[in-house]
Structure 1
Amino acid sequence: MTGLPEPTRQWLADHGFSVQDEHLWREALTHGSTGHARDYDRLEFLGDRVLGLAIADWLYSAGDDDEGKLAQRLNALVSKGACAKVARVMGLPDHVLLGKQARDDGAAQSDNILGDVMEALLGAEFIEAGFDSARAIVRRHWHDDVQGKAGHSKHPKSALQEWAAGNQRRPPEYQLVDRSGPDHKARFTVRVSVHNVGQADATAGSKQEAETAAARLFMERYG
């Protein structure tokens, strides 16, 4: 695997990343569709944990919310959608390394891929410079979302769960009814149902997002 293109190296530096081992950073930006032996999967696994701890520490230090509210905000701020939003603001789509077919299919704008690469970059930063440096990057790029409204409203799945319990209904059941498209641009359709009430279907780029959308739609119809 070769090193980084100079524009990408400069872009990383401009956004606060500590680029030393260029091969590590190229790995963090490389999608499996390129056919390279090393892609971002392992670094994404690490970066997901780094991000979670950085945000949890931030929220804990920022106030005295109870565990439920902290978890609600954490889940919203570390979601693939939240990571992809940060990635787009930074200009990450221009630097993701994709195979030709994946790029032609629009994978550079996929929430799943952008979210994964964003986490992989945090994993690379953790390896290069340690947790404090990775946390500083999170605080820089997640600042607006943490200070804003992200995660303050109740998650649709939690709201539906509570609605069902409050109305003496069985817990909602989620079923994956369809999966289509290539791995880098997969679409998931999920059905949520509550016995003797009804059901709602929703489609999204990940199973979790589809479940959330289905729960939101169910509450709009029956809640």
Structure 2
Amino acid sequence: MTSTYKRGDLTIDQQVALDTAAHRLSKEFAGTFGAETIARFLQTSYDEFAEHGRVTNFLPLLAERFARQRLHALARVEGGGDGRPVVLFLCAHNAGRSQMALGFFRALADQNALAWSGGSEFADEINPTVVAAMAERGIDISAEFPKPWTDEVFQAADVVVTMGCGDACPVYPGKRYLDWELDDPAGKALADVRPIRDEIERHVHDLLAQLDLPSV
């Protein structure tokens, strides 16, 4: 595949990694999206993180993971859904509350629903205290990463849950919106994050009941 990433700010290793990612995504979405669409989503996903200052060796991997999520969302928007509900969890930095909600929802809903998360001003990394709090409940969110939201992800969601992002959270017609009033775990000690975690878990159980989904 011809590289579309010959930018001056990319190292040779990053160029190779992005081209390899594009090849993987092209195989994964063969018959759904063409190489041009996949390259565009991969490039814009890379740019989102690079412009945010995340110039690290992991940028191509983050771009690939984010592009994959966006392509799955776009496929659903264009009629490729499988009937499962999609929930989008949003907070300001996608580093604490929305990541805990995502972790609980995926663990409890299992394969019965899909869930994504995003932030209006996404952080560089997940709050490590939040990761520790979730690990106490047997849920590993250490591999997750803060990310923005995009139009196709919003359009694919059936339910949008907001947590402290205020007016920064966009409103799309036809979506079901829920707002959970939760303390921000940023800067808090583990003992103070636990009650927030437990409240989020209760909210997730209630949401699963509202969606008529069984809890694992």
Give the TM-score, by structure 1 length.
0.28
Query: If each structure's helix is expressed as a fraction of its own residues, which one has the higher value?
Result: 1
Structure 2 length normalisation: TM-score? 0.28
